[in-house]
């Protein structure tokens, strides 16, 4: 039986990195056709077509310069030609272009094709937000998995180690994509909660913009020293304050009692510091402006129910 033809819809920074992996993986597997089509949004680079450059120099000089693509990855400027005969379609374009492309693909889709979306984004649908994978499902009536992870395209192209997650409602299809995409240094876990995987991938981009805002507003240099974000992450994962606070919720014992039971004479600094800061906030009439610090103090020392923790944060004056 001939191997399944793969088409990559997209050839940007991530699309080209993924093409490098797919091109190599199909050569090593009987499951896939050894030639891969990569749809390229055509543009001129110094008087030459990008597809022509990719097909002769095997490099996407605009979106992934410095990396050779395998020769079995063929750049195709016509989307209809690119998807012709494809049984496996990898969608990897900026999300704003997906609906239009699906409309172009639909009349030419091969029966039994399956898809995977590497696209991090959401769209506005008739009933609120819509997952990109749902747009593809609705328009093409194919099974769609998703792949999202902590993956920077140029690092993956450099073959640096990282992990990623495939969300597959149809696990058998998820495993086909794992075979297509996994390498020794790009390790894949397949889970069934596809929608959760996709939402994580889309929403983290908004937080990334916020992180950029913060770095632009303040000098980030000191926060990037060990004393800053690194210590915050470390303490929240592995520290004594975190450990005792979790036990406080699970056992309903007091912080003082748990400190004695769990720390063998070692001392917690967080609750005490929250009390000191709370006094200062009271003096300056700022208690309501610091709901996180205030709620933690009140839970630790004033008997406030820990179940109200989220409610405390919901009542920030800025939200009113
Ligand atoms: N770059 C990265 O490190 C990663 C990107 N992603 C996600 O992958 C998706 C694709 O991103 P990249 O491959 O990085 O793209 P990119 O941002 O590097 O490139 C833009 C791509 O869009 C194409 N394009 C421009 N105008 C177009 C049009 N009118 N119609 C169709 N295509 C057009 C360009 O030709 C180019 O291929 C995004 O959702 C991104 O969030 C996910 C993980 C890592
Ligand atoms: O998705 C990514 C990392 O996981 C790439 O993020 P950016 O699109 O912000 O470069």
Q: pLDDT digit string (tens) for 95-136?
A: 999 999 999 999 999 999 999 999 999 988 777 889 999 999
Mean pLDDT of the chain: 92
Its pTM stands at 0.78
How far is the CA of 100 from the CAs of 184, 201, 214, in angstroms?
35, 22, 35
pLDDT score for 318: 57
Contact predicate 263/240, CB 8 Å: yes
Contact predicate 7/89, CB 8 Å: yes
Helix, strand or coil for residue 100? helix
ipTM passes above 0.85: yes
Cα 151 to ligand 2 centre (Å): 7
**pLDDT value at 311 more than 90:** no
pLDDT score for 125: 78
pLDDT of 187-244, one tens digit each? 999 999 999 999 999 988 887 776 677 667 677 677 778 887 788 888 888 889 999 9
pLDDT score for 214: 65
Residue with the bigger pLDDT between 236 and 63: it is 63
120 lines ligand 2 (CB under 6 A): yes
Q: Which long-range contacts (CB under 8 A, 24 or more apart) does 201-206 make?
A: 201/120, 201/146, 201/148, 201/149, 202/120, 202/121, 202/122, 202/131, 202/132, 204/120, 205/120, 205/121
pLDDT score for 282: 94
Atom of ligand 1 minimally distant from the CA of 149:
43
pLDDT score for 47: 98
Question: What domains can be seen in the chain, in order of their start residue?
Answer: 4-206 (3.40.50.720), 239-319 (1.10.1040.10)
Residue 6 binned pLDDT confidence (cut-offs 50, 70, 90): very high
Does 39 appear as a known binding residue? no
Alpha-carbon span 5 to 37, nearest angstrom? 8
Reference 166, options 181, 195, 146; nearest CA is: 146
pLDDT of 262-298, one tens digit each? 988 888 889 988 998 999 999 999 998 888 899 999 9
pLDDT score for 58: 98
Q: Which long-range contacts (CB under 8 A, 24 or more apart) does 124-131 make?
A: 131/195, 131/198, 131/199, 131/202
Q: Token pair of 76, please? A: 């195709």
Helix-, strand-, coil-residue percentages of the chain, each rounded to 5: 50, 20, 30
Contact predicate 168/136, CB 8 Å: no
Does 282 appear as a known binding residue? no
Catalytic residue, chosen from 68, 71, 106, 204, is: 204
Q: Which ligand is nearest to the CA of 204?
A: 2
For ligand 1, atom 36, name the residue with the nearest CA: 12
pLDDT score for 42: 97
Residue 77 binned pLDDT confidence (cut-offs 50, 70, 90): very high
Alpha-carbon span 5 to 112, nearest angstrom? 12
What kind and span of H or E run contains 52?
A: helix 50-57
What kind and span of H or E run contains 125?
A: strand 122-125
pLDDT of 20-29, one tens digit each? 999 999 999 9
């Amino acid at each position: 039986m001939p191997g399944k033809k793969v088409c990559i819809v997209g050839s940007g920074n991530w699309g080209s990195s993924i093409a490098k992996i797919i091109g190599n993986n199909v050569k090593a597997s009987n499951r896939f056709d050894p030639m891969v089509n990569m749809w390229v949004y055509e543009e001129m680079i110094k008087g030459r077509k990008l597809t022509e450059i990719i097909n002769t120099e095997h490099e996407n000089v605009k979106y992934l310069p410095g990396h050779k693509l395998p020769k079995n990855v063929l750049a195709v400027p016509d989307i209809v030609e690119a998807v012709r005969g494809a049984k496996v379609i990898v969608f990897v374009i900026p999300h704003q272009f997906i609906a239009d492309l699906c409309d172009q693909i639909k009349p030419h889709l091969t029966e039994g094709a399956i898809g995977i979306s590497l696209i991090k984004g959401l769209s506005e649908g008739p009933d609120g937000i819509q997952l990109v994978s749902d747009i593809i499902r609705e328009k093409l009536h194919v099974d769609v998995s998703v792949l999202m992870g902590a993956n920077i395209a140029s690092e993956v192209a450099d073959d640096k180690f990282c992990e990623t997650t495939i969300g597959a409602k149809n696990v058998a299809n998820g495993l086909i994509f794992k075979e297509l995409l996994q390498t020794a240094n790009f390790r894949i876990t397949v889970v069934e909660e596809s929608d959760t995987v996709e939402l994580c991938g889309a929403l983290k981009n908004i937080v990334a913009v916020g992180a950029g805002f913060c770095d632009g507003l303040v000098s980030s240099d000191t926060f990037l020293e060990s004393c800053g974000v690194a210590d915050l992450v470390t303490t929240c994962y592995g520290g004594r304050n975190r450990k005792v606070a979790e036990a406080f919720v699970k056992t309903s014992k007091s912080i003082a009692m748990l400190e004695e039971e769990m720390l063998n004479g070692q001392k917690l600094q967080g609750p005490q510091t929250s009390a000191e800061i709370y006094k200062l906030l009271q003096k300056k009439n700022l208690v309501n402006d610091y709901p996180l610090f205030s709620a933690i103090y009140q839970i630790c020392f004033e008997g406030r129910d820990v179940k109200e923790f989220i409610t405390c944060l919901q009542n920030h004056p800025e939200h009113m």
